[in-house]
Amino acid sequence: MAVDMRLPTVRKQVADSLLSATAGKHLVVPGDVITSDTGFMRGHGTYMDEDKLTASVAGEVERVNKLICVKPLKTRFNGEVGDVVVGRITEVQQKRWKVETNSRLDSVLLLSSVNLPGGELRRRSAEDELTMRHYLQEGDLISAEVQSVFSDGALSLHTRSLKYGKLGQGVLVQVSPSLVKRQKTHFHNLPCGASVILGNNGFVWLYPTPGQQDEEAGGYYTSMEPVPLADREVISRLRNCLLALAAHKVLLYDTSLLYCYESSLPHQIKDILKPEVMEEIVMETRQRLMDQEG
Amino acid sequence: MAGLELLSDQGYRLDGRKPSELRKVQARMGVFAQADGSAYIEQGNTKALAVVYGPHEVRGSRSKTLHDRAVINCQYSMATFSTAERKRRPHGDRKSSEMSLHLKQTFEAAILTQLYPRSQIDIYVKILQSDGGNYSACVNAATLAVIDAGVPMRDYVCACSAGFVEDTPLADLCHTEESGGGTSLALALLPRGGQIALLQMDARLHQDHLDALMEAAMTACRSLSNVLDGVVRQHLQEVSLLTRE
């Protein structure tokens, strides 16, 4: 049996000429004084140190009129109302589920903010409270939308639309939330034969494109039909493409994923994660994205 | 003194350094993809790895939850192969628990914990190779990992050890100097404000010498902070170059 073996190599250095391209950005590290002018407002990632506005995280300074924020390169998910998230149920409590969404506190999904089977106008009885585990139990994956943000930063989710609900068969990929590009829609049916939910929280769900949805099920019906091999291959390829893009810090959205998928086609699925192949594919993707932008 | 001569007549130390000279520092941020933040540091032959998870919901016993700030959870461990004699237990012995507690105190002083009520921040540090100054290598690695995780801090925390031999303060002790029987002191500093996050000294020292020793350690911490600063800025530039739109 052939075995692929690799030796450690020297890490590639980014050329100094390229690094100078970031000169226009205002990059700061913790403890850097941004301004000692008192006319500015203190935003996220900053604190006041003896009347001097000081950065508390490493990142780029963003200024909106009088408000100064520092946006870190990588952080946990900071949810905003309307964000699409993919999460995992960690706990079933009274009238609520706790959902792990890569946020700094577990999110809450209230029984009153889900669509139960039987349609919109169904009353939630005490019986529903007892059978909550029947709908969603610990370990289940769901897609949901952020309904509101509590004062301590915890998120309240809802699944009151047919597109949200329990996730069935598919693959979950975790990337940094800052790599997911904000777009009008985060649900995509890709032309290559699979669908993807790009959660704002960095959880990406890849699944076979569903057929006709059964309205009555209210998003709690999960198909246990075996997925054909062809679909599984497409999903595996997309997963490796996602990991390749994330490793090279390319923003994730439908176009970048599709371009990466297309440029990976000459290679075998398992080869995509080899560093040299990964670099080639990502380079081609970047080039195509730049050409498209013009 | 019997045995080794820690400072030669010419004023050089065992490994050829001058009294105030530091060992070579090399560091990298973002070494793991799974953790929220991670870093690796080499200070001479001492090598440490730090990972940060969080802030996240408090796991384990709920009673630990604080309603006004985040809980900081530190775990220090040494790889079994890190010392000359193989270790039995990588963590959990008395020395490691004490070190974990010191790390916790250090980072509670630096991280803006009040921004994350009811959360928990985990810092795990592992010594891969031990050649003196374990505490300082751990603090420096953990600082880089915390910055990588995007957790807000007042300032860098830099730590350095210092010893006192023949009326001369020595900065950044190596293993032979640490075990040579002299006094050694570990100091963690927030360099910009000059606040001391932790100060620890186990052996006896004449009061008159304390100021000189602390001054030496603080100077060493400041030069270390410049090195760390360079590493963070380099990392920042590289990543922001790749993610630009």
Mean pLDDT of A143-160: 93
CB pairs under 8 A between A and B: 109
Local structure of residue B33 (DSSP, 8 states): S
Chain centroid to Cα A31, Å, comes to 30
Residue of chain B whose alpha carbon sits nearest to that of A282: B242
Distance, CA of B108 to CA of A210 (rounded, Å): 49
Q: Per residue in A94-120, pLDDT tens?
A: 889 999 999 999 999 998 888 876 665
Q: Is the pLDDT of residue A220 over 70?
A: no
- Give the residue from B69, B121, B243 with the most A CB atoms within 10 Å of its CB, the best one to mutate: B243
What would the mean pLDDT of B77-105 be, rounded to a whole number? 91
CA-CA distance, B61 to B162, in Å (whole number)?
39
pLDDT band at A147 (very low <50, low <70, confident <90, very high): very high
Question: Nearest residue on chain A to B111, judged by CA atoms?
Answer: A56
Is the CB of residue A157 less than 8 Å from the CB of residue A107? Answer: yes
Question: Residue B47 — very low, low, confident or very high, per pLDDT cuts 50/70/90?
Answer: very high
- Residue in A31, A75, A249 closest to B243 by CB: A249
Probe site for chain A from B67, B221, B238, B245 (most A CB atoms < 10 A)? B238
3-state secondary structure of B82: coil
β-pair type (A155-159, A107-114): parallel
pLDDT at residue A12, as a whole number: 75
A265's tokens? 């086609």
pLDDT score of A42 more than 70:
yes
Largest interatomic CA distance in chain B: 65
Mean pLDDT score, A129-140: 88
Residues A61, A70 contacting (CB under 8 angstroms):
yes
Contacts of A22 in chain B (CB under 8 A): 237, 240-241, 244
Query: Is residue B215 helix, strand or coil?
Result: helix
Give CA–CA dist A226/A267, Å, rounded: 26
pLDDT tens digits for range B190-222: 999 899 999 999 888 899 999 999 999 999 999
Q: pLDDT tier at A293 (50, 70, 90 boundaries)?
A: confident
Residue type for position B143: T
ipTM: 0.87
**Which of B62, B147, B189 has the most A C-beta neighbours within 10 Å, making it the best mutation to test the interface with A?**
B147
3-state secondary structure of B108: helix
